[in-house]
Structure 1
């Protein structure tokens, strides 16, 4: 993987990933969250969950007897569709499907909104099952682009403090602790309300 920001290093900060849970699609403050993150701009990389579009894939699987592998690919495309929806709501976010496009958006001072299909469908280290969701994909991306921080934005507050506790509580998918363990930076969970209160500073919960 090439260095995301080869030159000039002093002009850039390492990317920070903010994963927006699919449940935020119906959250009353969704537009405010997108606006706040767009205003903050670089070095943010937003990852959209599949939301109701991924739920549609789940509902379709037993009806058509679809394989988990097919549903994995369809769910990634659901994330991509949600990203397009978020970009339509907030056009100042830059759609980006690879590290170079992310770096270009950040070079313009703008936040990037990840389109996952190009990278995730080509990956060989992602299990093709429902045990892997957009949370684990966000952690995978954090490793791929050498991010400095990963923040998961959930509609409801977490009752735990670690990825293992979040997975046991059903807040993340069961594979998330393993993917988070590969990432060297801090991993946090926050809510839309807490994020909006802290967007001028740290995104920590």
Structure 2
């Protein structure tokens, strides 16, 4: 009887982590852990650049939405270069293929997210909500958001009220069947809960 692959677990890496001194250690640890992880990156300074350009060029929210997704794609490419053990994946099938090889998948979001007409094209939707959307799409067992700051409360509504996640995140997170949590990067590197990444 063929062995069943475990359900994927999404780890969303906030854009603010791009300049964090422990980023490389975290990426390397996640790559070593491998399947069934799926990493989702924020847009970081590349998305900040889109925000800065919008008023200067008079860009629409719809255009900025697509540009911000491409910023996430570029950040994923950068993370794949930092930690070559991660495997870029742009479809659910590619994620399954990465896991079949025992590797952690690193989501390249442009192909799926730009084709998803149900996603609002506004700044109210950020990479956090996209990670929750992907969790539903692939039936993830867990969604962990790695942030620079700790969660201000136990529920996604608390996180949105504090500005730690985007305002649409609670509604997207409500459709995730698995656990949804926030951890800090230091806690993730030291002891992620499902086995130490520092090992």
TM over 0.5: yes
Q: Could you say what the CA RMSD is over the residues aligned between the two structures, in angstroms?
A: 1.3
Q: TM-score, normalised by structure 2?
A: 0.96
Q: Using the alignment, how far apart are the partners of 1:201 and 1:129 within structure 2?
A: 34
Unaligned runs of 5+ in 1: 1-6
Question: Cα deviation per residue 1:83-107 (whole Å; 9 max; x = unaligned)?
Answer: 0000000011000000111000000
Runs of 4+ in 1 over 4 A off after TM superposition: none
Question: Cα deviation per residue 1:101-120 (whole Å; 9 max; x = unaligned)?
Answer: 10000000000000000000
Aligned to 1:51: 44
- In structure 2, do the counterparts of structure 1 residues 173 and 202 end up closer, same or farther at CA, with 3 Å as the change threshold? farther
User: Is the counterpart of residue 104 in structure 1 residue 93 in structure 2?
Assistant: no
Q: Using the alignment, how far apart are the partners of 2:195 and 2:139 within structure 1?
A: 18
Contact kept? 1:15, 1:147, Cα under 8 Å: yes
The partner residue of 2:188 within 181, 190, 195 is 195
Q: Using the alignment, how far apart are the partners of 2:156 and 2:195 within structure 1?
A: 20
SS at match of 1:118: helix
Report the CA distance between 1:201 and its aligned residue: 2.5
SS at match of 1:14: coil
Aligned to 2:56: 63
Aligned to 1:143: 136
Aligned to 2:66: 73
Report the CA distance between 1:33 and its aligned residue: 0.5
Q: Using the alignment, how far apart are the partners of 1:153 and 1:194 within structure 2?
A: 9
| Match runs of 1:77-156 below 5 Å | 77-156=70-149
Q: Using the alignment, how far apart are the partners of 1:184 and 1:106 within structure 2?
A: 20
